[in-house]
Chain A
Amino acid sequence: MSTPIEATAILQRRRSSVEDTRSSGLSPEPRELSYAQAIQEAMAIAMERDERVFLMGEDIGVYGGAFQVTGDLVHRFGADRVMDTPISELGSAGVAIGAALTGLRPIFEFQFSDFSALAMEQIVNQAAKLRFMLGGAVSVPLVMRFPSGSGTGAAAQHSQSLEAWFAHVPGLKVVQPATPHDAKGCLLAAIADPDPVMIFEHKLLYKMKGEVPEGHYTVPLGKARLCRPGRDVTIVATSIMVHRSLAAAEELSREGIEAEVIDLRSLRPLDRDTLTQSVKRTHRLVCVYEGVKTLGIGAELSASIAESDAFDYLDAPILRLGGAECPIPYNPELEKAAVPQTPTIIAAVRDLIGGRL
């Protein structure tokens, strides 16, 4: 283990070698990785480049993580850098904060995002506020990863989408990458970020494949992505809802409705500009997210339009499609009904365009 100064030197050497490879003009072959593999690759690259980076979490070592995201990294980097923790979410969150305060760059995997409730104190009262409370004397460069969302039959305590809780707290950054490309790029951006970043990864996305560039790259935190242009309605979605919205847009296109789909990617910072620009073009807005509808991200997005000059462009009420007002149920049909599905989005957009709302 090197001192932080040595680690920085190593980092710089490695960074320059990576840049050399990338600036050689050889564009690497496009290749596909799963969302989980993309995250694993990001963590491996970060650990290779920077000795300060280490992973901690429950069963992330030889077990490979509950969702096999850390996989075999323990064999490559050793148990000191891929550290199993006891089942102590509150304590581990504090440990990660202490390490981040004093020169290291921890990446803390929560086994399920639901368990963040156990660590609320350290995340909300400590990590989010230390820099501010201490007048800028410290920073907390901490990354926390949260497998989240429903669809796995794990019921109410292992299926929640709690990102809006944390997005309400100044001092935290909250991102929800929807593709393997963004999962890797957002994670590498989060590791380079001086402040605490929480990454919510939908469990149903882990096996999804997509094109992922080789080497180191970052996706800026707080920048939404326009996934599909369209003239009739803007669908702004997060995480897995991006894919359901894109599928809905394909179907609607066959009916002559052209939906513009925006992947929000980040709840805090929030990219209001991309959204308002889109609404000015399409004059309609549908917000799609898995978290409970009431007081969720959709309310914030709707209010962003209501408070902006895009309000005057609206030709229809703003629509929110979010999680039902209940915990996630076990029965598969009930579970599906508890969060927006592609047919729900199609039906809602049809009604909106048809003036039936």
Chain B
Amino acid sequence: MGLEDVTLREKSVASGVRQLGRARPQNPSRDAVSMPSVYRRLSAESLRQALRKMHLIRRFEESAEDAYMRGLVHGTMHLSIGQEASAVGICATLEPTDYMTSTHRGHGHSIAKGAQVARMFAEFFGKEDGYCRGRGGSMHIADVSTGNLGANGIVGGGLPIAVGVALSMKKQRRSCVVVSFFGDGANNEGAFHEALNMASIWKLPVVFVCENNGYGMSTSTERSTAVKDVAERACAYSMPGIVVDGNDFAAVAQAAFDAVERARRGDGPSLIESKTYRIRGHSRSDRNRYRTKEEIEAWLARDPIVAFERELARLGFVSKSGIEAIRTDVECEIAEAIAFAKASPAPSVEELTRYVYSD
């Protein structure tokens, strides 16, 4: 995926897909012209919390990687470093009672939806205090208390389930919205087609969020997907499709606000394509043979956290010392979380087959 694809602009394209970005501010002051409207919809405190969550995700991923190197994590993991604005931008618009289904690259989504990193680390370490009592690991972290119905080891696996949750909400007359994160790889699964079609015919409150990070494992979207933008596919299901710069918190949150409001009003689903990039490989086995150093470096220069920090500072939402305090606070939370996870007991082998069926 070329950088030009995510040039920040708003325009209509022939397919009806809207591209949402924002103009670069002309003058570096906090005025109505240069400030994306989403900064007025979220409180200053929410924005600082969003920044904190992005840092927490980044440090969680880096620490998980470090723990893996030191042999504390069994199996593999899929890191979302570089995709933080996408996870946090979407979830910043949700209520705690709203639901979410996630993907194999779901650590960021969980944290953005409100999961505790201590219990996430405990799950990584296979411990009883983990979100899945050590039975699920990285690919199945769920936190039902925050509406997080879980990551999923199957590409596209969460899409139909999200539609079912939305059907359930509609039948029970609950005003909850369901966000279903999936990757560019999932958009070529049959489940994608079936899920989007059903959500549309039944006008269900789902926001489909395709995090297009350019590659399904090693296969680029250009090689795997017949359309330029995944969002173009929305028109096949009579729902709005929008492309956003997934590394731009404000652009993501703006699109999410629109889609969530539409869903909550009962007007049906939307498809948001959040164009982003995973800085790390697909998983631990990835040797980066399918992309260039230059490409990775170009995306590193567009770090979503650096951009968001700069933006919040420019607009006066956070000071330099405020940013420093967030970083220190996050470091502290990560250290405590790892200590908690290390100290947590391992599950008992006697309970191997527990939870297969309800007791």
Partners in one complex: yes
Residues of chain A touching chain B, judged by Cβ–Cβ distance below 8 Å, are 1-4, 54, 80, 85-86, 88, 90-104, 106, 121-122, 125-126, 130-139, 170-171, 173, 194-195
Interface size grouping (class) on chain B:
35 or more
Query: Given A98-B162, A171-B357, is A104 in contact with B168 using a C-beta cutoff of 8 Å?
Result: yes
For the complex, is B166 an interface residue (Cβ under 8 Å from A)?
A: yes
Q: Which of B180-221 contact A (CB under 8 A)?
A: 190-191, 193-195, 197-198, 201
Query: Given A80-B171, A94-B191, A138-B142, is A133 in contact with B160 using a C-beta cutoff of 8 Å?
Result: no
Contact with B172, one of A103, A125, A133, A138 (Cβ below 8 angstroms): A103
Query: Cβ of B140 and Cβ of A94 under 8 Å apart?
Result: no
Q: Give the chain A neighbours of B160 by CB distance below 8 A.
A: 90-95, 97-98, 122
The distance from the CB of B131 to the nearest CB of chain A, in whole angstroms, is 7
Query: Given A91-B194, A121-B154, A125-B153, is A135 in contact with B165 using a C-beta cutoff of 8 Å?
Result: no
Q: Which of B306-323 contact A (CB under 8 A)?
A: none
Residues of chain B touching chain A, judged by Cβ–Cβ distance below 8 Å, are 99, 130-136, 140, 142, 144, 149-150, 152-154, 157, 159-169, 171-174, 190-191, 193-195, 197-198, 201, 353-358
Query: Cβ of A94 and Cβ of B159 under 8 Å apart?
Result: yes
- A–B Cβ pairs within 8 angstroms, 19 of them: A1-B171, A91-B160, A94-B157, A94-B161, A94-B194, A95-B160, A95-B198, A98-B165, A99-B167, A101-B165, A102-B168, A104-B172, A131-B357, A132-B356, A133-B132, A133-B135, A136-B133, A137-B144, A138-B142
Query: Cβ of B195 and Cβ of A94 under 8 Å apart?
Result: yes
Bound together, the chains give a CA A132 to CA B359 distance in angstroms of: 12
Query: Cβ of B167 and Cβ of A95 under 8 Å apart?
Result: yes
Q: Give the chain B neighbours of A93 by CB distance below 8 A.
A: 160
Bound together, the chains give a CA A130 to CA B152 distance in angstroms of: 10
Which residue on A lies nearest to B353, using beta carbons?
Answer: A170
The distance from the CB of A96 to the nearest CB of chain B, in whole angstroms, is 6
Contact with B171, one of A54, A136, A171 (Cβ below 8 angstroms): A54
Query: Cβ of A101 and Cβ of B135 under 8 Å apart?
Result: no
Query: Cβ of B153 and Cβ of A98 under 8 Å apart?
Result: no
Nearest 7 interchain pairs by C-beta: A98-B164, A94-B160, A91-B194, A135-B133, A95-B164, A194-B358, A135-B132
Contact with B357, one of A2, A85, A104, A195 (Cβ below 8 angstroms): A195
Which residue on B lies nearest to A81, using beta carbons?
Answer: B171
Query: Cβ of B132 and Cβ of A103 under 8 Å apart?
Result: no
Which residue on A lies nearest to B135, using beta carbons?
Answer: A135
Query: Cβ of A134 and Cβ of B136 under 8 Å apart?
Result: yes
Query: Cβ of A125 and Cβ of B154 under 8 Å apart?
Result: yes
Query: Cβ of A101 and Cβ of B153 under 8 Å apart?
Result: no
Bound together, the chains give a CA A99 to CA B164 distance in angstroms of: 5
Query: Cβ of A92 and Cβ of B130 under 8 Å apart?
Result: no
Query: Cβ of B144 and Cβ of A91 under 8 Å apart?
Result: no
The distance from the CB of B100 to the nearest CB of chain A, in whole angstroms, is 12
Bound together, the chains give a CA A85 to CA B163 distance in angstroms of: 13
